Structure 1
Amino acid sequence: MNSSSVPPSGVVPSSARRAWMAVLARTPRAELEAGLQRVLQDLPTPAYDWLRPPEIGLAMVRGRIGGSGDPFNLGEATVTRATLRLRAGNEPGATIGVACHLGRDRRRAELAALADALLQLPEHHDRLQRQLVEPFAAQQRTRRAQRQQDAAATRVEFFTMVRGD
């Protein structure tokens, strides 16, 4: 079984879920909303109940001296989180979707939590993984590579010439 497939039992490996949640957390709302509408266009909108409606708060950002030394509190960052539970018919289901991302966008948290819950369902997983998560992950890899290339272009090599006495 590869990391992107869900076994028939519906139990998702934590590493696979962590990977798609990271992609969803970095995806802008407009792209996430358009992607979910495109993928779910022929399906009814899933019903869900809020376990934790989207809420905005602060999280402490920590740094390390020199990148690997003693930790210190760098400052606070605004985060939005949400937790929902899909309904199965009229009864609440056991599938829970969670989202947490930087920023103050409640709708984005709702969409990411819904996508997380649907990705855990075997009947939706492959389609969402192929048409939603993989394209977003590819875009994020491309952006990251471009940023690294831009940073590398500004790199300066320093050297010291020894003066003869």
Structure 2
Amino acid sequence: MWRFSLLFGVILALSSTAWADDMLYDVVQPVELGVGRTQVELQASTPTDQGLASWMGRGPLVLALSGIWAAEAPAVAYHLYLDLPRDSIPGVDDPGYLGGLNFYDTPDRYVAENPKRLSFLLDQALVRLRDAGRLTQPPTLTFIPVRPEEPGYSPRVEHISIIMTSD
């Protein structure tokens, strides 16, 4: 049994190292979602970054959310948008629309050993955003509740990153 645990630990360490090498952007602190729109700016992992458009075609790009939790699960889901202009009122037909995030069956605290994760493939959204002339540098991610949320639930995402995966 100990051999299996050791093997699992080595695989986990190697995979987390590979994950970090492929990280293009991330948010340096946890994000608490409010009752309205929450917009975060993703920081480049290299100082010479040329923007998301420069990574297109090199490999699949993925938005990775990890450590999704809420003290109490809110009764509302959130729409996620990449590079959404601050004052726009978007719909699901917006070029930057990625999908939805809900807090159903999430833990009531952050669990580092087994965090809830969610990911979105970005390739099609990047093409739509490029065609619409809306790729920003640095990229932003916006969470918008589907309907007004009551305060007090404190939904959070501990880590947000954009990574390049292998084909």
Relative to the length of structure 1, the TM-score reads: 0.23
Task: From the two aligned structures, give the one with the greater helix fraction.
Answer: 1
Q: Which has the larger radius of gyration?
A: 1
Relative to the length of structure 2, the TM-score reads: 0.23
Q: Which has the higher contact order (CA 8 A, sep 6+)?
A: 2
